[in-house]
Chain A
Amino acid sequence: MEQNKPLGPLEPAESARPGVPTEAPEAGRFRAPLNPVAALFTGRGPEWVRYALLGGVLLVAALLPFVIQSDRWLTLFTIVLIYVVLASGLNIVVGFTGLLDLGYVAFYAIGGYYAAIIFVQVLKNGFGLDISEMWWLTWVNVLVGGGLAAVAGSLIGYPTLRLRGDYLAIMTLAFGEIIRIVANNWVGLTRGPSGVSGVPKFAIGDFVFKTNFRSYFLALALAVISLFVISRLVRSRVGRAWTAIRDDEVAAAAMGINTSRYKLLSYSCGAFFAGTMGVFFGQYLNFIHPSNFKLMESFVMLCLVVLGGMGGLVGPVVGAVIWITLQEWLRDFEFIQLHPEVRGMVMGIVLVLLMIFRPQGIIGGRRVPLYRKLRRERVSKE
């Protein structure tokens, strides 16, 4: 047991795998690489290449619904966008702060149930109000649901502060399960296993986000805003404190970082995005059910983060897009139609192979520049 390395599980990829040349020499950073894809993935190269690529990706995402014209794939991409935000939120906790969270689904559940309970259980059944008129609340909910999840995040985070590694993982897992079990059994509040149906859709006055087309753009807007906020967050002082905690908690504390506070902040920020997506999910499907929030969901989200590459901004996005799309695409094969279990087998093998060939994720973790320098010095000292 390598107990002298409490943060072992989240050791960043590059330095830990000496055989894999993932980082160019220092000088390479200033030699503009001609490969624009590499520039996007690694964050090197001139600024304008990155902005151009970012704009290109956004343009493709925005034009997608005009091109594909398929409700099925629009629904899928809406769900992909939900997972993009969930994975990016989880990445704050796992990738940037280095805390293994196996109960992230709890915050997603809190957001979803908040929207369902406030509309159906409280306003409609409790006060007998006409919820179809309260379109403004659908928007307020996104923030309130996120806020509630954030509060829950720091509450749940508090007892885990003393824990390290897998002890932390199991504790977060326990919280995640408790929330689901309560949701399944507190029938008076959550309607238990019947689920809450009739959650209203997003709307602005009479303009209801009813079609898959409108929902997709709403999800895209939410995802872009979330990713923008996250990208600012991790480049801020707070973000640097998180990466410092991930890399060396003792050193971070010695540098005057209040590690407990920043860890709680990390949980809260991560939870916030899960909460907003929970609200979106509830008001998109108009139905919330405990089986949406099974333990396996937490693992799936973790897979997305690691698959894409944790500790960067692009990784979780790529992970979510590739993985959720693959899952759906596999359904179309005639062979899988006949033998549905083969889908699971293929996905399992893909997961193992991807990890063996790209242990740092498809994209690999993109470091915040300041930290990259620090890291190298520490490695060379060792």
Chain B
Amino acid sequence: MSKSYRVLVLLFVLALAVAVISGCGEETSATTAAAGETTTTAATGGAAVPFKFGAAASFTGQYANYGGSLKGGADIAVAELNAAGGVNGGEVSYVTGDELGDPKEAVLVAQKLIDDPEVLFVDGHMFSGATLAAGPKYQDAGLPMISPSATNPDVTDLGEYIWRVCMTDQAQGEGLAAYAVTTLGMKKIAIFHSDNDYGKGLADAFEAAATAAGGEIVGREQYTDGDTDFKAQLTKIKDADPELLFLSGYYPEGSKIAAQVKELGMDVQMLGSDGYGSDELIKLGGASVEGMLISTFFDYSKVDPAIQKFVETYKTNNNGANPDWFAAASYDVIMVAAQAATKAGVNSREAINEALNGIEYSGLTGTFTFDENGDVQKPLNIVVVQDGKLVTAPKQP
């Protein structure tokens, strides 16, 4: 290996890197003007304390899509708040912390956000594993953390600085079981769930509640997050011949499951958990998800002006993609924190945390207040896939 050759290699790689970086640079200027503003530190409000927060999620790797949604929702909230003159006069901005859904990385991200005195609260973390690892750090440091999507019951037990805007697995599982058995009148039910703690926890809650309500669980199978082939488990479920197939997990696997259900010639009503509530499901599942019922806390087909405005902005920012509930929940997290800060009149960690108690917030994912634990109760909506769109289902719980 001659020296000149190595220099050649180095130059090539550098050129590649520059090309990529400049490519990304174009994107910033072209599409997300909101994102561009977020990191500028020039304060517009003079001496006002900037309203800066941390967005902690997995922005790369296997779970990058969820982080992307979180960021998409956050960008809109930031743009809207800034357009309205900031929060308490302070400019709204955020820093990201990429934790890849990994508990150890989550702790590092938490520590980074805690160390930044300007960060007032955290929008994240998204997965329960990362949340449970990072939560104690926020609690000890007194930095409010509001999770858009960590459903594990243990999460809010971590302390008074830990909040979430999603419902626990227990509440959703019970609601869905009642819907399936009582409202739909389906007695023979099979469960197919993901191996992560959301999928498993929700499946457990659903199974217990459905059995109690008089349903019969004829099959329960599990898949691994990131799997693509589900036919072995689905064939087994097909053999049990259920009326309803309850799917507990996230949409990337969900679209493939639905396609394979159809490929196996199964005739079964599918009911997806709130992790399925995304346009991506339909985009990827196509005709095979038609007729699937999905539980959601964010029904973007609703004729609510706030929701429609959010959907429009999100579409403009993201090449026409519809927002999923992760994006909506992320938006709500920031808005509820902004409302708390406005109520308190001060931009500080302590004030925001104090004001979150007993706040009444009405947002994209429903109207809610936090209970003493930091949990919320929200109405459960059921949507159905019809003609390639998620629309409000005729039968609601």
Contacts and interface: CB of A to CB of B under 8 A. Distances in A.
Interface of A: 19, 70-72, 75-76, 79, 184-185, 187, 192-195, 197, 212, 281, 285-287, 289-292, 294, 328, 331, 334-335, 337-346, 349, 352-353, 356-357
Contact of B108 (A79, A290, A335, A345): A79
Given A193-B200, A287-B132, 12 more contacts: A19-B1, A72-B111, A75-B108, A76-B108, A79-B104, A194-B200, A331-B98, A338-B96, A341-B60, A343-B98, A353-B9, A353-B10
Interface stretch (B17-25, B320-328, B358-366, B369-377): B17-25
A342 B21 contact: yes
Nearest to B41: A334
Contacts of A76: 108, 111
A64 to B, nearest CB: 16
Interface string B89-127: 000000111100111100111011011000000000000
Nearest to B94: A337
**Which residue among B17, B108, B114 has the maximum number of chain A CB atoms within 10 Å of its CB?**
B108
B115 A345 contact: no
Contacts of B141: 71
Nearest to B1: A19
A294 B109 CA distance: 19
A242 B10 CA distance: 37
Given A71-B114, A193-B195, A287-B133, A334 B102 contact: no
Nearest to B194: A193
A104 to B, nearest CB: 16
Contacts of A187: 200
Contacts of B235: none
Nearest to B36: A338
Interface in B1-46: 1, 6, 9-10, 13, 17, 20-21, 24, 28, 35-36, 39
Contacts of A291: 101-103, 129
B103 A289 contact: yes
Nearest to B158: A197
Contacts of A285: 103-104, 107, 133
B59 interface: yes
Nearest to B23: A339
B67 interface: yes
Contact of B197 (A192, A331, A339, A353): A192
Contact of A340 (B36, B39, B98, B152): B98
B201 interface: yes
Contacts of B13: 349, 352-353
B154 interface: yes
A195 B197 contact: yes
Contacts of A79: 104, 107-108
Contacts of B152: 194
A334 B39 contact: yes
Contact of A343 (B24, B60, B129): B60
B8 to A, nearest CB: 11
25 contacts: A19-B1, A71-B114, A72-B108, A75-B111, A76-B108, A185-B222, A193-B197, A194-B152, A197-B154, A287-B132, A287-B133, A290-B129, A291-B101, A291-B103, A331-B97, A334-B39, A337-B39, A338-B28, A338-B39, A340-B59, A340-B96, A346-B17, A349-B13, A349-B17, A356-B9
A289 B98 contact: no
B107 A345 contact: no
Q: Ordered nearest first, which 4 A-B pairs have the shortest CB separation?
A: A340-B59, A193-B197, A72-B115, A340-B98
A2 B222 CA distance: 42
B128 interface: yes
A195 B101 CA distance: 14
Interface in B174-229: 195-197, 200-201, 222
B397 interface: no
B65 to A, nearest CB: 12
A337 B95 contact: yes
A195 B158 CA distance: 14
A192 B194 CA distance: 12
Given A194-B152, A287-B133, A345-B17, A339 B102 contact: no
Contacts of B112: 72, 328, 331
B35 A338 contact: yes
B103 A197 contact: no
B283 to A, nearest CB: 21
B385 to A, nearest CB: 28
A185 B195 contact: yes
A328 B108 contact: yes
Contacts of A71: 111, 114-115, 141
A72 B114 contact: yes
Contacts of A185: 195, 222
Interface in B56-70: 59-61, 64, 67
A335 B103 contact: no
B133 A289 contact: yes
**Which residue among A79, A286, A287 has the maximum number of chain B CB atoms within 10 Å of its CB?**
A287
A356 B28 CA distance: 33
B331 to A, nearest CB: 19
A120 to B, nearest CB: 12
A291 B200 CA distance: 15
Given A72-B108, A291-B101, A342 B59 contact: no
A115 to B, nearest CB: 15
B136 interface: yes
A349 to B, nearest CB: 6
Contacts of B200: 187, 192-194
A125 to B, nearest CB: 13
Nearest to A82: B104
Interface string B372-393: 0000000000000000000000
Given A71-B111, A343-B98, A184 B129 contact: no
A289 B129 contact: yes
Contacts of B222: 185
A343 B98 CA distance: 10
A291 B102 CA distance: 6
B343 to A, nearest CB: 29
Contacts of B195: 184-185, 193
A149 B220 CA distance: 34
B39 A75 contact: no
Nearest to A187: B200
Contacts of A338: 24, 28, 35-36, 39, 96
A286 B103 CA distance: 11
Contacts of B17: 345-346, 349
A193 B98 contact: no
